Amino acid sequence: MIEAKPPLITPYTKVDAAERVLESLQNWEDITKEAVLNEVEFSPQEQLSKLRNGVYLSQKRQKYWVDKMGKNYFMVYARDLEIFWSNDENYWKWTQINTTDNDEAIEVAELLRVCWLSVSGGFDTKKLSMGTLYEVSFVVKLSQNLLFWETNPAILELSLPGGSKHVSKVDMSKIQQRDQWVKIPLGQFQTFLGNQGEMRFNLREHKSGQWKRGLVVKGVSIQPKM
């Protein structure tokens, strides 16, 4: 009796694994069109590596990552925000920084002095991963010469496509960390098909009429919660 041979099993390669991960990701090809990541010269492994390391969009006004869980993660940098008086060097100073040792430089906005503080922006939630809990935060640095008034905290507001809002207050003077990047949360929300559209975020303090300084704005983080 002739013994039957087991079926030939094709080895599961790293390329296969990368292709499967890419197939599972949401909207990455549309999001990265301008970054030319879907050109044939990039292997699936190279494409996935670039996505995990982060891809700049909109002339380095945004950055897009895919985290370890395959979820879309974005940073909206200061140049893509609406910062009142930011075009006047008497009030704001634009400088370039490297986010990591090997990364390209991005621009951040340093508050020199202003009475009317307003930093706002928007983002299309269609680019986010569906069925995912996200946290939206301002990423800022507070310098040693920070001047904010305890009696007049800044207002944080997150407006979602469905019409709901998260409004909170933050006393900048009570934040202990200085000269390092910190996240100031605006709120959390769950993505689903019925709530897609533009969300808006805002950081403001202008009712007091008092001078403020020492705030450096890097941008807004839109990050999946683990």
Q: What is the pLDDT at residue 39? A: 54
- The tally of CA atoms less than 13 A away on the side-chain side of residue 153 is 10
pLDDT in tens, 36-47: 555 557 778 888
Measured in degrees and rounded to the nearest 5, phi and psi for residue 101 equal -60, -40
pLDDT in tens, 51-94: 888 999 999 999 999 998 899 999 999 999 999 999 999 999 99
* Res. 1: pLDDT tops 80: no
Report d(CA 175, CA 188) in Å as an integer: 21
Q: Tokens 């370039």 correspond to what residue?
A: 96
**Cβ contact 61:77 at 8 Å:** yes
Question: Regarding predicted confidence, which is higher, 154 or 17?
Answer: 154
Residue type, 167: V
Instruction: Please give the helix or strand (H or E) that residue 16 lies within, else none.
Output: helix 14-24
What structural domains and CATH numbers belong to the chain? Answer: 11-53 (no CATH), 59-224 (2.60.120.260)
**Whole-model pTM?**
0.87
- Inter-axis angle of helices 44-53 and 14-24, to 10 degrees? 50
Residue type, 24: S
Closest CA to 186 of 162, 149, 226, 155: 155
Q: Tokens 């951040």 correspond to what residue?
A: 108
Q: What is the pLDDT at residue 36? A: 58
Q: E-assigned strands of the chain?
A: 55-57, 62-66, 72-77, 82-83, 92-98, 105-111, 117-124, 133-147, 154-159, 165-170, 181-190, 198-205, 213-224
Report the phi/psi class of residue 18: left, alpha or beta, with left for phi > 0 and alpha for psi in -120 to 50.
Answer: alpha
Instruction: Please give the helix or strand (H or E) that residue 53 lies within, else none.
Output: helix 44-53
Instruction: Please give the helix or strand (H or E) that residue 21 lies within, else none.
Output: helix 14-24
**β-bridge partners, 86:** none
pLDDT in tens, 137-172: 999 999 988 888 777 899 999 999 989 999 999 998
Q: E-assigned strands of 37-132?
A: 55-57, 62-66, 72-77, 82-83, 92-98, 105-111, 117-124
